[in-house]
């Protein structure tokens, strides 16, 4: 059973998804093209007993959602490139202290304040390496309004399950477009909550791997026993340590809790790749142009397909590896930047394909015709 069919904006779908996932705290500093997420959260959260705070800036917003999450509230913030830069320090804190939270980055043209109202995909690398130090992170990117809804729920689920910040990487096109959607009933949605420890226990080691899966259960701040949370390397008690084994073991656990679960975390979509000679790798709104181009090129008899990445980080190396068992000879990476994902795809291809970039960074969405022209050009080289 589905709810009624309506016209919904991407940013609105993000809030609806967040509320369905159980978000009850939002702190933010509104910025185009993410503003509607804060606006609608401010309207809807209080009605559900949740809290909305407009903070003094993005740094404080990120700090506030970390604090709220520690007390047990599912928490989110939303921003765009300039604000995302400011959040990086606290994102690193959340990675190390293992605080579940969702950060929405609606990409606009950059660098700096750039093109506030126009789309880009220039934050691909910043979502992976924006904060310093080796750290785990999960980044997912939707292509449609319905997918914004589903992926916001998934961002909360992944974040809660793995105790890691999850970045929902949107772009201006997906965020601002309105599209026909049919939302599912709440009862049909899978919700994952973090593992809780019974607050009545007498000794609590906040970073002890009680279950052996690399993910320590949490206790809400304020319930039961007091504990220590820090951005310093810490032992299982949560207190700082400079011990070499403690440092190594902590970083290994932080990485392995993500990299041991790639089958769960990685999502991608293959369209017509089984017999394709050229496969276009894409994500976000660009993938819609690519989809159109693939459809039109197939009508002309071109053997072309698409690999759409839904999970951006960790990178889906297995998706590229699988293409090595097909007739694919050319990979074309279409993105609204100078080629940020292209370098990773090249590394993953290990020379098995001729790899090209289709890049646009003028504040306009890549058009299907541009994809078609590039595919024809690539085919000539072959």
For residues 346-365, which are near other proteins according to CB under 8 A?
Answer: 365
Q: Is 37 helix (H, G, I), strand (E, B) or coil?
A: helix
Of the candidates 127, 120, 135, 36, the one whose C-alpha atom is nearest the C-alpha of residue 87 is 127
Q: For residue 138, what are the CA distances in angstroms to 73, 311, 338?
A: 20, 8, 22
CB of 7 to other proteins, least distance (A): 5
- Round to whole Å and give the CA distance between 92 and 215: 17
For 266-298, the DSSP string reads --EEEES-TT-SEEEEE-TTHHHHHHHHHHHHH
Query: With left for phi above 0 and alpha for psi between -120 and 50, is residue 28 left, alpha or beta?
Result: beta
Tell me how long the chain is.
Answer: 382
Strands 330-335 and 354-359: parallel
Q: Considering only the stretches 73-81, 177-185, 274-282, 312-320, report the one whose residues sit in contact with other proteins under the rule CB under 8 A.
A: 177-185
One of 97, 173, 265, 266 touching other proteins (CB under 8 A): 173
Q: Is 298 a residue that touches other proteins (CB under 8 A)?
A: no
One of 51, 86, 125, 179 touching other proteins (CB under 8 A): 179
Q: Considering only the stretches 22-30, 38-46, 88-96, 282-290, report the one whose residues sit in contact with other proteins under the rule CB under 8 A.
A: 282-290
Q: Is 54 a residue that touches other proteins (CB under 8 A)?
A: no
CB of 365 to other proteins, least distance (A): 6
Q: Considering beta carbons, is residue 149 or 313 the nearer one to other proteins? A: 149
Q: Is 229 a residue that touches other proteins (CB under 8 A)?
A: no
Residue 368 corresponds to which tokens in the numbers above? 């299907």
String marking each residue 80-119 x if it binds other proteins according to CB under 8 A: ------------------------------------xx--
One of 180, 228, 248, 376 touching other proteins (CB under 8 A): 180
Q: Considering beta carbons, is residue 44 or 291 the nearer one to other proteins? A: 291
The three state secondary structure string of 39-87 is HHHHHHCHHHCCEEEECCCHHHHHHHHHHHHHCCCEEEEEECHHHHHHH
- Round to whole Å and give the CA distance between 135 and 254: 7
CB of 313 to other proteins, least distance (A): 25
Residues within the interface to other proteins (CB under 8 A): 5-7, 116-117, 173, 176-180, 285, 288-289, 291-292, 295, 365, 367-369
């Amino acid at each position: 059973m589905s709810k009624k069919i309506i016209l919904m904006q991407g940013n609105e779908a993000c809030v609806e998804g967040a509320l369905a996932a159980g978000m009850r705290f939002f702190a933010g500093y509104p910025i185009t093209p993410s503003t509607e997420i804060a606006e609608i959260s401010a309207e809807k959260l209080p009605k559900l007993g949740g809290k909305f705070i407009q903070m003094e800036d993005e740094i404080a917003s990120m700090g506030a959602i970390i604090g709220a999450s520690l007390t047990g509230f599912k928490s989110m913030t939303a921003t765009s490139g300039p604000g995302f830069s400011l959040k990086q320090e606290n994102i690193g804190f959340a990675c190390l202290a293992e605080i579940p939270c969702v950060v929405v980055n609606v990409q606009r043209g950059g660098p700096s304040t750039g093109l506030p109202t126009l789309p880009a995909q220039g934050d691909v690398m910043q979502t992976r390496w924006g904060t310093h130090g080796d750290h785990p992170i999960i980044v997912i990117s939707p292509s449609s309004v319905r997918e914004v809804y589903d992926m916001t729920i998934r961002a909360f689920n992944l974040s809660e399950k793995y105790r890691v910040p999850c970045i929902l990487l949107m772009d201006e096109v997906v965020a601002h477009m309105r599209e026909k959607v049919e939302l599912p009933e709440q009862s049909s949605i899978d919700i994952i909550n973090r593992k809780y420890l019974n607050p009545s226990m007498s000794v609590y080691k906040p970073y002890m791997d009680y279950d052996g899966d690399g993910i320590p259960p949490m206790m809400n701040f304020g319930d039961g026993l007091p504990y220590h949370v820090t951005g310093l390397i810490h032992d299982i008690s949560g207190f700082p340590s400079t011990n070499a084994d403690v440092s190594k073991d902590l970083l290994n656990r932080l990485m392995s809790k993500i990299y041991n679960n790639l089958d769960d975390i990685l999502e991608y979509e293959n369209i017509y790749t089984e017999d394709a000679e050229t496969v276009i790798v894409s994500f976000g709104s660009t993938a819609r142009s690519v989809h159109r181009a693939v459809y039109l090129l197939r009508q002309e008899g071109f053997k072309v397909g698409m690999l759409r990445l839904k999970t951006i980080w960790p990178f889906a190396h297995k998706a590229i590896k699988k293409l090595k068992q097909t007739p694919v000879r050319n990979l074309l990476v279409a993105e609204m930047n100078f080629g940020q994902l292209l370098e990773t795809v090249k590394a993953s291809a290990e020379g098995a394909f001729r790899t090209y970039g289709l890049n646009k960074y003028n504040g306009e969405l890549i058009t299907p015709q541009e994809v078609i022209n590039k595919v024809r050009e690539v085919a000539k080289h072959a």
